[in-house]
A and B are shown apart, each in its own frame.
Chain A
Amino acid sequence: GDSVTQMEGPVTLSEEAFLTINCTYTATGYPSLFWYVQYPGEGLQLLLKATKADDKGSNKGFEATYRKETTSFHLEKGSVQVSDSAVYFCALTAGNQFYFGTGTSLTVIP
């Protein structure tokens, strides 16, 4: 069935370090792909999305490219900040459902 696998955490980085959180997917059709972020005690917020192959989603310095050939949608940021500390979820839509990864906790230390 359709699914998302993302890099396990937790991830701890120093401020201004480069971030990559890996996400791969399995889908029978042509899903849309998303990254959501969850700050402590809050619900999920959409960070970025891509709806077709080779699309690049970007927001707040974060980027992810929809790679059909590698079935991946890795999240990257060139220079993380303390305020980026949160849990990041990769997700895809297929049919009526969203499928979420298990989440990757990121802590950025000053």
Chain B
Amino acid sequence: NAGVMQNPRHLVRRRGQEARLRCSPMKGHSHVYWYRQLPEEGLKFMVYLQKENIIDESGMPKERFSAEFPKEGPSILRIQQVVRGDSAAYFCASSRSGANNEQFFGPGTRLTVL
């Protein structure tokens, strides 16, 4: 049973470009969570999605950031017009049911904005 998969593992973008991060949850998991980890900091919750629905996006910046989890295919975290401050590791996690259950994490995507 494959774990949570994220790609790319490393992504380099120049300021003003778009970054698209993909996450495939574990088989049988319909809940996906995105977190951001800044250097020397803990994980910060960004958004919680179920298939085709955003359940909680209270941790996601209102501008430039968006997330989706379509009926088919991976969840996508999209950052438009990236700035240097967006450089971080972005982790995706999935769970079989709601947030009180164990979350399984992917290896993360390390975004570097030049």
Chain A contact residues, CB within 8 Å of chain B: 32, 34, 36, 41-46, 49, 51, 89, 93, 95-103
Contacts and interface: CB of A to CB of B under 8 A. Distances in A.
A43 B42 contact: no
Contact of B105 (A32, A44, A96): A44
B43 A96 contact: no
Nearest to B44: A100
11 contacts: A32-B100, A43-B93, A46-B104, A89-B42, A96-B99, A97-B99, A98-B33, A100-B44, A100-B45, A101-B42, A102-B42
Which 6 residue pairs spanning A and B have beta carbons closest together? Answer: A43-B105, A102-B42, A96-B56, A44-B105, A100-B43, A43-B107
A93 B99 contact: yes
Contact of A46 (B44, B102, B108): B102
A96 B48 contact: yes
Contacts of A41: 107
Contacts of A32: 100
- Chain B, interface size category, equals 20 to 34
Given A36-B105, A43-B105, A89-B42, 4 more contacts: A43-B107, A44-B93, A98-B35, A103-B41
Contact of A93 (B42, B100, B105): B100
B69 interface: no
A103 B42 CA distance: 6
Contact of A42 (B55, B104, B107): B107
B25 interface: no
